[in-house]
Structure 1
Amino acid sequence: MSYLSELRALWGSAPLVSVGVSVLIQDEQGRVLLQQRGDDGLWGVLGGGLEPGETFLEAAHRELREETGLTCPNIAPLPLEEGLVSGPEFYHRYPNGHEIYLVGLRTHGTLPAAALAGAQPDDSGETLALAWFALDDLPPLNSNINRVSMNVLRARVGLPPLPLLPVPDAPPVGNHLLALRRRVGPRPLFAPGANVLVTDEAGQLLLLRHGGAGGWTLPGGSLEPGESLAECARRELFEETGLEADHLEPLRLYAGAKYRFTYPHGDVIDNVSVLYRAHGVTGRLTLPPDEIHGAAWFAPGNLPPEADLSGPLLQAMVAQWRDGEGRSVAAPASS
């Protein structure tokens, strides 16, 4: 049983944040490989949900094998500006009534058109047919998830965007992860979210002393259903520091087994987080006393010991800032 199916057994059909990967495969003519889906008979891109411990690239290769029987050695993450998936437009309601908000990453690879002759989808019934389609002659697509992916490819060749389907209003911000945790217990849960690098005029990094996670952290937290990753970053930055940013620059997406974190009380999360650099920061540093127990500014050569940082995700993010000063990374999602 897949991760998402296990959650559904406890959560029901209400909206879940689903962490997934899209696999955009094009041939030598620029046509895109699409899958006719078994659940509604419409067409969509290849891909699916991550399993705990997987990176996006690992999931992309697995989903391609399962849905087509093919392998594609050159699959790679798209640049974050094209590749990140999140927000209210990525709502989808399946024919069985299950609702999701997709959060994840688009990957891209190429195969010769003739490779399709060797396709052998698995026996799950998920794939009814596979075919190559020109970007200006697409079949009926089943959701905005697929329409936006096609728009990324269409923009590259100067084609206008496909119109998006209407979506319901996103649920009010609450604490989705906590509500889910109450149903499923301490088992590993995906925790998609965002963290923010904030520096002062002297080039020092802001770190917070977090009461729940323990240790020093960056401003940030978990995403709510229907919220974009950038919106999550802005909200968490303001809630935890009272600060606002004119612009948030996405630097890197972290996912995979190495970023699993176990809280002191035993709950386990698999972090899936975008690191943003804040530009044009304004406001007065104000800490919520129930969550944040202190704050300090650190120069690159005077950071807390690694063991005092709140887990492997924060250790990797702080090291990214220390070693590269937050410079943008083009294809990071396999790390």
Structure 2
Amino acid sequence: MTVVDNLWYLADEADQRAEQTYHRLAGDHENYVEYERTRTVSRSRFRTVADRIRENGLPYGAHTLVYRDSGDLLLVRHEGVDMWVVPGGEVHADESLREGARRELREEAGIDASYEGLGILARVNFRSDGHHAWGVLPVFAARAETMELAVEDPDDEISEARWFSDLPEDTRDRAELLTWRDQML
């Protein structure tokens, strides 16, 4: 019996959805920072990521880059990756990308923010055993409306939320966050 590997088909569907999502976001927003990353992953991880991308174009969900008038940025400690990251995560089927980012912000930091548009639009390429697919990482920019932080993450991935004037060295995508802050604030 021959086993047919459908990863090429899954990757093609993921690419098409990512393209749609990217063009919709780029067309709806302006003045955002762009960057691109490439990750080599295992076959099983590739399948998982491609499935996620096929749903809405996003491998990692939607995120929010929250700032205070002082220029401080909000980061959360993600124990799964052992780094400081901007709040965000999976977008549910009944949510817009911004609604998903807002819900994740409330869960991971316990605050509300006034959304101003797209802060960062990243392209994340995935490679595995000759297969490739890409997805979109949208990071919305928002001004904090409340300042007191409270982590209520149902996934137990986030252990702490904190405001930073100087970003820690172990901040994911640190250079891009600093570029955004320098250009926009």
Report the alpha carbon displacement of residue 6 of structure 1 after superposing the two structures with TM. 4.0
- Of 86, 91, 98, the residue aligned with 1:230 is 98
Report the alpha carbon displacement of residue 238 of structure 1 after superposing the two structures with TM. 0.6
**TM-score, scaled to structure 2:** 0.63
C-alpha spacing 1:223/1:320, structure 2 compared with 1 (3 Å) = farther
- Of 162, 165, 171, the residue aligned with 1:309 is 171
Greater helix share, 1 or 2? 2
C-alpha spacing 1:4/1:235, structure 2 compared with 1 (3 Å) = farther
1:200 maps to what in 2? 68
2:26 maps to what in 1? 80
Is 1:247 the counterpart of 2:109? The answer is: no
CA distance in 1, matches of 2:175, 2:92: 24
Letter in 1 for 2:76: L
CA distance in 2, matches of 1:4, 1:244: 41
Letter in 2 for 1:293: S
CA distance in 1, matches of 2:142, 2:105: 9
CA distance in 2, matches of 1:238, 1:4: 37
2:151 maps to what in 1? 287
**TM-score, scaled to structure 1:** 0.38
CA distance in 2, matches of 1:281, 1:2: 47
Contact preservation (8 Å) 2:68, 2:144: no
Per-residue displacement from partner, 1:260-317 (whole Å, max 9, x unpaired)?
Answer: 5xxxxxxxx9652111111352363101372222233222xx2212xx123xxx3354
Question: What's the Cα RMSD here?
Answer: 3.5
Letter in 1 for 2:177: V
C-alpha spacing 1:317/1:195, structure 2 compared with 1 (3 Å) = farther
Contact preservation (8 Å) 2:66, 2:144: no
Is 1:323 the counterpart of 2:182? The answer is: yes
Report the alpha carbon displacement of residue 321 of structure 1 after superposing the two structures with TM. 2.5
Query: Gaps (5+ residues) in structure 2?
Result: 30-42, 54-58, 127-132
CA distance in 2, matches of 1:282, 1:321: 21
- Of 83, 87, 96, the residue aligned with 1:215 is 83
Which contiguous aligned blocks of 4+ residues in structure 1 show a shift greater than 6 angstroms?
A: none
* Partner SS, residue 186 of structure 1: helix
Letter in 1 for 2:100: C
Letter in 2 for 1:325: M
Is 1:256 the counterpart of 2:129? The answer is: no
Letter in 2 for 1:297: W
Contact preservation (8 Å) 1:250, 1:274: yes
CA distance in 2, matches of 1:285, 1:3: 42
Per-residue displacement from partner, 1:38-72 (whole Å, max 9, x unpaired)?
Answer: xxxxxxxxxx345xxxxx4xx9xxxxxxxxxxxxx
Report the alpha carbon displacement of residue 215 of structure 1 after superposing the two structures with TM. 0.6
1:163 maps to what in 2? none
* Partner SS, residue 234 of structure 1: helix
Report the alpha carbon displacement of residue 186 of structure 1 after superposing the two structures with TM. 2.7
Report which of the two structures shows the higher radius of gyration computed on alpha carbons.
Answer: 1
Report the alpha carbon displacement of residue 242 of structure 1 after superposing the two structures with TM. 0.8
C-alpha spacing 1:244/1:19, structure 2 compared with 1 (3 Å) = farther
Letter in 1 for 2:146: T
* Partner SS, residue 174 of structure 2: helix
Report the alpha carbon displacement of residue 227 of structure 1 after superposing the two structures with TM. 2.2
CA distance in 2, matches of 1:236, 1:317: 21
C-alpha spacing 1:4/1:219, structure 2 compared with 1 (3 Å) = farther
C-alpha spacing 1:315/1:203, structure 2 compared with 1 (3 Å) = closer
CA distance in 2, matches of 1:19, 1:324: 32
2:164 maps to what in 1? 298
* Partner SS, residue 198 of structure 1: strand
Contact preservation (8 Å) 1:242, 1:283: no
Larger relative contact order, structure 1 or 2 (CA cutoff 8 Å, min sep 6)? 2
